[in-house]
Each structure stands twice: as structure tokens, then as C-alpha cells.
């Protein structure tokens, strides 16, 4: 065995033994992704369900009952009845309901007279997302109910156009199917960067790095010996995350597994490179951990398009998102999971990931040197 191979072999064996004996690496690679996926997968949902909706019916009538029945049978609402408008307003102010519909006393009469009666909708606008959902749903229900009433009455459809909407790529319009693939990217950012940054900072803290540097080991041997085991560990975490996504959350995986592996590998290398870069700056575990979270996890969370749509961001922020590797990986994952192997979307993103991996690993190699100053 030549000397260089022997050194690499020794370092990788050491790293592997440490991973096996020190539960913290395993925890970061497997427990952290599982925990975050469960937390976000079950906890975070952008779909409105069980919204407390107040119903104020000024004068009970068959028409009013028929209209409000739509809300009583909807999975999206939990209806509450109020005798009058002030009572509903109080409940809204107290946060007991998110909005209420007020059918005034002349509702049935106006309808019978062939007029289109006014209904009032009050919505708590603090949660803008929820408010918009309620508004849209109520408007759609109202329009739908009116046209059905008209059809029953034998009149022509009052609406000039009927919209037949069809939702592609996520037919169930489930936000979980959309969030979970993006979440995998966020988690893998943290795992990849945190693993390497912490492990190297630990070597600085314990003085093992100083001892290592005075041997004949060259810097790129030290880096390669760190990358290989943690790459494998990180990919293990990736596999676990994909399995959880597909089998626990039932997210469809339509694209090619080979492309998924390729993209994950590139992304993992970029993340590890980021971690190595952090470790050349931060020489204790606490600082390394903080930097890793602030420079990788938060941007991946906010600027990757995983939750917040990139195209609606202001231009400077949009430009900033281009240096967030997770952005490209989120796009790839969402495409591969929900749309399939769509090369025109995948290729530019894969290329960007390749550039990111080369950039971060290259920077890490340039900044790491066998000196303390």
C-alpha cells in the first residue's frame, strides 16, 4: 500500500469508528431528518381545515338553510350558529371563530323576488392566507349555490362562463405533497453542513487537528477523509427521508430514482463543502453550529422556494436566492416527486448544483491550510 493510500485508509477508518461510537453524528444524519419530517409533515400545512365559521341567519327560511348546509357539510369548516350579528362579532373579536356569514332578514324574500340578495362576510384578516381561503371558498360556494338555485328554478345559468378547473402535478392539491420534497432539501442542507462543520470544529477543540497537521498528511487528504464517510452518512439520511416521504406521507415519486440519486449526491457535496468552509473559520463546535444554521438552514428555509415563492420576492432577494444551493435542489425534488423526469426543468438545476458543489469544495480547499495562522 503506498503511503498516501495508507494515510487515507487510516483517517477514513478513524472517522468511521468515531461515527459508530459517537451517537451525535448518527443523530444528526438520521434522527434529525426523521424528527423534522414528522414535525413539518404533520404539523405544517398550508391547507385550511376546520376553520371556525360563524353563521348568522337573520330570519330562518328554506333557502337560508339550503345555503348554510354547504358549510355544515364541508370538511374545511366548523360552523357555529349565532342569533345575531353582534354576538358573532364578539366571537370573532375573541378569536373563537375566523369569520362569519350574515344572511340578513330579507334573504329569502329577495331571492324569491328574483333579486340577487346580498350576503355579508366578515373575515379575520390577521392570517392573510386563511382569510383569502375563506373568502374564496365562500364566494365560490355562493356562486355555485346561486346557479344551482337558478337551475332548480328552471332559469338559465346566470353566469356567462363556467370555469372547469383542473390541477396538474398535485391533483389532490395537498400542500403536504408539495412541502415534503422541499423539506427534504432543507433538512439535507442542515445535515450536510452541520455534520462536517461540527466534526472538524470538534477536532480543533480537542487538539486532535493540531496533532494531525504535523504528520505527513496533506490538507487534501484530511478533506477527502472527512468528505467520504460523511457523504455516505448524509446519503443514508437522504434515503431515510425519501422513504418517510413516500411510505409514511404517501407523497408520489414519479421521477427517475437515478436522477434523484445524482441530484442528491451533487447537493450533498455542495453541503459538505459548505460545512468544510465553515469549519475553516469556526474552530469551536458552538460557533460552527451557529454559523451552519444561520448560513445554510435559514436561507434554505426562507430563500429556496420551499415555502415562499421566489418569483414574488423583490429583485435583490431574488438575486440572492441564486447562491442558495437548496433553491436548485428544491426545484429538482418537487419536479421529480410530483411531475416526473422533466429534463428541461431538471438540467439547468442539476448544472447549477454541480457549479455549487465545485465552488464550495474548491473554496474549502483553498481556505484550508496546514497552519494555525
Partner 1 sequence: MPLRTESPAKALVISNVTRRFRVARRVITALDHVTTQTSAGLVTGLIGPDAAGKTTLMRLIAGLLRPDEGAISVFGTDVGANPLAVQGMISYMPQHFGLYEDLSVRENLDLYADLQGVPAAERPARYAELLHMTGLHPFTSRLAGRLSGGMKQKLGLACTLIRPPRLLLLDEPTVGVDPVSRRELWQIVDHLVRGAGMSVLLSTAYLDEAARCDEVLLLHEGQLIGTGKPEDFTRAMQGRSFLAHAAGSPKRALQTALASTPGVTDSLIQGEAVRLVLEAGMAPAAIQPAGIAGLTLSPTPPRFEDRFVDLLRAKTSARGATPAPLPPAATAAPRAGAAIEVAHLTKRFGAFAAVDDISFTVQHGEIFGLLGANGAGKSTTFRMLCGLLPATSGHLRVDGFDLRATAAAARGRLGYMAQKFSLYGDLSVIQNLRFFASAYGLRGAHRTRRISWALREFELDDYANATSHDLPLGFKQRMALACALMHEPGVLFLDEPTSGVDPLARREFWRRINALADQGVTVLVTTHFMDEAEYCDHLVIMAQGRILASGTSESLKTAARTAALPAPTMEDAFISLIAASSAKPEEQAA
For partner 1, give the closer residue by CB, 9 or 318.
9
Residues 6+ apart with CB under 8 A from 132: none
Q: Which of 152, 258, 315, 372 binds partner 1 (CB under 8 A)?
A: 372
Q: How far is the CB of 297 from partner 1 (least distance, A)?
A: 27
For partner 1, give the closer residue by CB, 98 or 203.
203
- Contact status: 373 vs partner 1 (CB under 8 A): yes
Q: Which of residues 183-242 bind partner 1 (CB under 8 A)?
A: 203, 206-218
**Number of residues in contact with partner 1 under rule CB under 8 A:** 31
- Contact status: 27 vs partner 1 (CB under 8 A): no
- Contact status: 287 vs partner 1 (CB under 8 A): no
- Contact status: 73 vs partner 1 (CB under 8 A): no
- Contact status: 81 vs partner 1 (CB under 8 A): no
For partner 1, give the closer residue by CB, 4 or 66.
4
Q: Which of 21, 62, 128, 152 binds partner 1 (CB under 8 A)?
A: 21
Q: How far is the CB of 214 from partner 1 (least distance, A)?
A: 4
- Contact status: 161 vs partner 1 (CB under 8 A): no
Q: How far is the CB of 236 from partner 1 (least distance, A)?
A: 20
Q: How far is the CB of 199 from partner 1 (least distance, A)?
A: 12
Q: Which of 18, 78, 147, 341 binds partner 1 (CB under 8 A)?
A: 18
Q: How far is the CB of 284 from partner 1 (least distance, A)?
A: 14
- Contact status: 368 vs partner 1 (CB under 8 A): no
Residues that bind partner 1 (CB under 8 A): 1, 3, 6-7, 9-11, 13-14, 17-18, 21-22, 203, 206-218, 370-373
Amino acid at each position: 500500500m503506498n503511503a498516501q493510500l495508507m494515510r487515507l485508509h487510516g483517517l477514513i477508518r478513524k472517522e468511521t469508528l468515531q461515527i459508530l461510537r459517537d451517537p451525535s453524528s448518527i443523530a444528526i444524519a438520521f434522527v434529525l431528518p426523521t424528527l423534522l419530517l414528522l414535525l413539518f409533515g404533520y404539523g405544517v400545512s398550508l391547507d385550511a381545515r376546520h376553520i371556525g365559521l360563524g353563521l348568522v341567519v337573520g330570519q330562518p327560511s328554506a333557502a337560508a338553510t339550503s345555503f348554510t348546509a354547504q358549510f355544515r357539510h364541508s370538511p374545511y369548516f366548523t360552523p357555529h350558529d349565532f342569533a345575531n350579528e353582534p354576538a358573532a362579532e364578539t366571537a370573532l373579536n375573541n378569536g373563537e371563530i375566523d369569520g362569519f356569514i350574515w344572511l340578513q332578514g330579507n334573504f329569502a324574500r329577495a331571492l324569491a323576488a328574483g333579486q340577487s340578495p346580498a350576503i355579508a362576510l366578515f373575515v379575520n384578516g390577521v392570517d392573510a392566507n386563511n382569510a383569502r381561503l375563506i373568502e374564496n371558498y365562500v364566494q365560490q360556494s355562493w356562486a355555485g349555490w346561486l346557479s344551482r338555485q337558478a337551475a332548480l328554478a328552471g332559469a338559465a345559468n346566470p353566469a356567462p362562463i363556467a370555469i372547469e378547473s383542473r390541477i396538474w402535478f398535485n391533483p389532490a392539491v395537498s400542500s403536504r405533497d408539495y412541502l415534503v420534497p422541499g423539506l427534504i432539501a432543507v433538512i439535507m442542507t442542515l445535515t450536510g453542513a452541520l455534520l462536517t462543520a461540527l466534526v472538524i470544529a470538534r477536532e480543533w477543540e480537542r487538539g486532535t487537528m493540531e496533532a494531525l497537521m504535523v504528520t505527513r498528511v496533506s490538507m487534501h487528504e484530511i478533506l477527502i477523509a472527512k468528505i467520504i464517510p460523511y457523504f455516505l452518512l448524509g446519503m443514508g439520511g437522504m434515503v431515510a427521508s425519501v422513504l418517510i416521504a413516500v411510505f409514511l406521507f404517501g407523497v408520489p415519486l414519479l421521477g427517475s430514482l437515478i436522477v434523484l440519486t445524482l441530484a442528491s449526491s451533487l447537493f450533498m457535496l455542495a453541503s459538505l463543502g459548505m460545512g468544510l468552509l465553515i469549519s475553516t473559520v469556526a474552530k469551536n463546535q458552538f460557533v460552527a453550529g451557529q454559523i451552519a444554521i444561520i448560513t445554510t438552514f435559514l436561507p434554505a428555509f426562507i430563500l429556496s422556494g420551499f415555502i415562499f415563492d421566489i418569483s414574488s420576492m423583490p429583485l435583490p432577494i431574488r438575486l440572492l436566492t441564486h447562491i442558495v444551493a437548496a433553491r436548485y435542489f428544491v426545484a429538482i425534488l418537487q419536479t421529480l416527486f410530483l411531475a416526473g423526469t422533466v429534463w428541461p426543468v431538471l438540467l439547468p438545476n442539476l448544472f447549477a448544483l454541480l457549479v455549487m458543489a465545485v465552488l464550495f469544495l474548491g473554496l474549502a480547499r483553498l481556505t484550508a491550510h496546514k497552519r494555525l495562522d
